[in-house]
Structure 1
Amino acid sequence: MRRTWSLLVPVLAGLLLAGCPGASAAPAEYRIGVARIGDDYHLFAPVCPGDALSAVRVGGPVATAGDWWAAAGPADPSGRPAEFVTLGDDGPFRRVTVRAGDGGPPRDFRATAVYTDGYGGSVEKSISLLLAAVPAYPAGADPRQVRYLTRPLGDMADLAGPEEIRRHSDCVDATDTPLRQTGGSLRSEAPGRVDRAMLGRDAVDWLAPVTPEPVATEDVAAHLCGNGPGFGALVAAYGQERVWRERDFDVETGGEIRQFAGAYGRITAAEAITQADGRLGCERYTDGGTGYHDVHRVVLPAVTGADRQLLYCEESEHSAGRCTLLLARGDILSRVVVQAADRELAETGARALADDAGAALAG
């Protein structure tokens, strides 16, 4: 079953200092920590089994303050990226949206780690604190041996070593670990081809893009009928996702389009679609906490640019329609998911985007 996490757990200095009772409710299991070693600031963000660290952002104490540094997309998609991140170091990431400014992070700053679970779900863990409160250690100190500030107040009770922080992590069930591909099985040009397979932000002119650029994420080809590692589904590497939504979006029945693209190496993208296609036939299943039924394949004329395609539609427990278009070309997969008030509208949207998605895939 796909797990969808949308929990953001900020630790806000102002709330704590004001004695706000809501601040004390921030659960310890979502702690991350910051320490200074020499002139560099280090973030320790424990990675739970099956998860991956997909992005890190550093900026002002509130989300509207802008970023000092922002990087996403692990350079090595095959496993568990380093949990110790030097703030401002682009090396572990493929995409840097904001390069680090001079002079270190802001005096009053917020660090956010973004994780993905291999099923299209993500979670953010944030900490806001004063730079002056961060514990300092000599240059050359081992990041695995120092203690990290995990709360804004900065007294000894707020300092913890990596293993202590890890013990309080909110980890998923390690027995349901996603099947990731090894870096050596992937073509060197795959990241660029994934980027080119993404539709432009203006491709869906009847909805508004949620973010200006695609977001790095991880996912299998499709969640159809509970598809996942137990059925042999591989996580696509170098994944990117873009989302469009209608104004005043309602999560249960509102209009939404999600495009995902990723790369395969151990198998072809066509084989990934065939694996997902083999799950068709269930009466109902749950995806992201929502039940779906009446799942059926839809005939679609051959899409130019694709060497394998699959379109299927379904109805949610809220009577909304959802249609998923899967396209493959060599090692690259493109998926377009359309949610609408009813199934007919969802199918119309998926058909309308098929040619554009195929052209982007072939580009």
Structure 2
Amino acid sequence: MRRSAGKPLTALAAVVGLVLTTACGPSGETSPTGGRERPATTSTDPHSTDPAVTGVQPLYDLSPELEDQIGTVLIGSALGIDGVAEVPLQSPYMDDLLSGACGTEPGNGVYLSAFGQRREWKAPHVRIQQFAGGWGVSPAAEAVAQVRGRLGCGTYQDREGLHRVLGERELSPLSGLDDQLMFCEVINEEGPEGPTHLCTVLLARGEIASRIQTRAATAERAEQVARELAVPAARRLAAVS
């Protein structure tokens, strides 16, 4: 479940107005500016604008400098992998779930990012994507923990095909982070074109989460590249003040 847009502020403007109207009432008073209060999670109204139900971040709940910080978290072009080339994208801006593993969808306390950006690269027999975005309703570390708690599903189906979750992989501790997680999957294991191996690294600090995903024909290659890129990705994330 992904939303791509030209500029995140434009794409979310309508949602912001609706959320602010709901929060402030018909008088048009200023939205909350104190501590970050979590939204209520008890609504069952299918037309609810409660962020916990819609999975959309309320922008007033995010740090004003967050949009500028997201871009600094992306690794850049110097990946140090033989034959790597950046994949041109129509737009770098994309808001996304931190992970769609085990059929996760937005809503019911699962949030899409705000101000998300991505980059993609390809090298012989491997495809790489980095994504970074903001989580304001709950810390980014809670989003990572939420993914960790869903990895016992075994298998699930999405647009890429049938995934089998292989479980967590050990990742050396990376300094300056609130949480980190690495896990791997195999997609279309019995397919006629052969399996795709997918490894995901999730990194969290404050309101920002960074995701590295590598797809390769072998489990060894997918894991190797994911581990290599986790280090510079963590360094950039930890540098955000």
Normalising to structure 1: TM-score of the pair?
Answer: 0.51
Confirm or deny: 8 A CA contact 2:66 2:134 kept in the other structure: yes
Partner of 2:97 in structure 1? 220
Work out the CA distance in 2 between the residues paired with 1:79 and 1:335: 27
1:158-210 per-residue CA deviation (whole Å, 9 max, x = no partner) reads xxxxxxxxxxxxxxxx99x8511111100011011111111112225332101
Partner of 2:220 in structure 1? 344
2:201 is the counterpart of 1:330: no
**1:1-363 equivalence runs, <5 A:** 2=1, 54-55=5-6, 72-75=7-10, 77=12, 79-80=14-15, 179-206=55-82, 207-211=84-88, 215-230=92-107, 232-246=109-123, 254-317=125-188, 318-363=194-239
Secondary structure of residue in 1 paired with 2:214: strand
Work out the CA distance in 2 between the residues paired with 1:349 and 1:330: 25
Report the alpha carbon displacement of residue 341 of structure 1 after superposing the two structures with TM. 0.9
Work out the CA distance in 2 between the residues paired with 1:214 and 1:257: 17
Question: RCO greater where, 1 or 2, for CA within 8 Å and sep 6 or more?
Answer: 2
Q: Structure 1 residues 74, 222: CA separation in 2 closer, same or farther (over 3 Å shift)?
A: same
Work out the CA distance in 1 between the residues paired with 2:139 and 2:235: 19
Confirm or deny: 8 A CA contact 1:74 1:81 kept in the other structure: no
Work out the CA distance in 1 between the residues paired with 2:8 and 2:202: 22
Work out the CA distance in 2 between the residues paired with 1:276 and 1:294: 12
Aligned residues between the structures: 200
Report the alpha carbon displacement of residue 231 of structure 1 after superposing the two structures with TM. 5.2
Report the alpha carbon displacement of residue 352 of structure 1 after superposing the two structures with TM. 0.6
Percentage identity across paired residues of the two chains: 32
Q: Which amino acid aligns with 2:169?
A: V
Work out the CA distance in 1 between the residues paired with 2:73 and 2:144: 16
Q: Structure 1 residues 184, 80: CA separation in 2 closer, same or farther (over 3 Å shift)?
A: closer
Work out the CA distance in 2 between the residues paired with 1:342 and 1:268: 34
Q: What root-mean-square deviation, in Å, do the aligned CA atoms of Structure 1 and Structure 2 show?
A: 2.6
Q: Which amino acid aligns with 2:64?
A: S
**Bigger proportion of residues as helix:** 2
Q: Which amino acid aligns with 1:193?
A: Q
- Structure 1 gaps, min length 5: 4-50, 56-71, 83-173, 248-253
Secondary structure of residue in 2 paired with 1:281: helix
Secondary structure of residue in 2 paired with 1:200: coil
Confirm or deny: 8 A CA contact 1:309 1:328 kept in the other structure: yes
Confirm or deny: 8 A CA contact 1:77 1:181 kept in the other structure: no
Larger Rg: 1
1:33-75 per-residue CA deviation (whole Å, 9 max, x = no partner) reads xxxxxxxxxxxxxxxxxx67x12xxxxxxxxxxxxxxxx3335
Q: Structure 1 residues 81, 307: CA separation in 2 closer, same or farther (over 3 Å shift)?
A: closer
Q: Structure 1 residues 358, 213: CA separation in 2 closer, same or farther (over 3 Å shift)?
A: farther
Q: Structure 1 residues 228, 303: CA separation in 2 closer, same or farther (over 3 Å shift)?
A: same
1:331-356 per-residue CA deviation (whole Å, 9 max, x = no partner) reads 00000001111111101111111110
Partner of 2:44 in structure 1? none
Confirm or deny: 8 A CA contact 1:277 1:310 kept in the other structure: yes
Confirm or deny: 8 A CA contact 2:156 2:164 kept in the other structure: yes
Q: Structure 1 residues 346, 78: CA separation in 2 closer, same or farther (over 3 Å shift)?
A: farther
Q: Structure 1 residues 188, 76: CA separation in 2 closer, same or farther (over 3 Å shift)?
A: farther
Confirm or deny: 8 A CA contact 1:310 1:326 kept in the other structure: yes
Work out the CA distance in 2 between the residues paired with 1:235 and 1:228: 9
- Structure 2 gaps, min length 5: 18-46, 189-193
Report the alpha carbon displacement of residue 80 of structure 1 after superposing the two structures with TM. 4.2
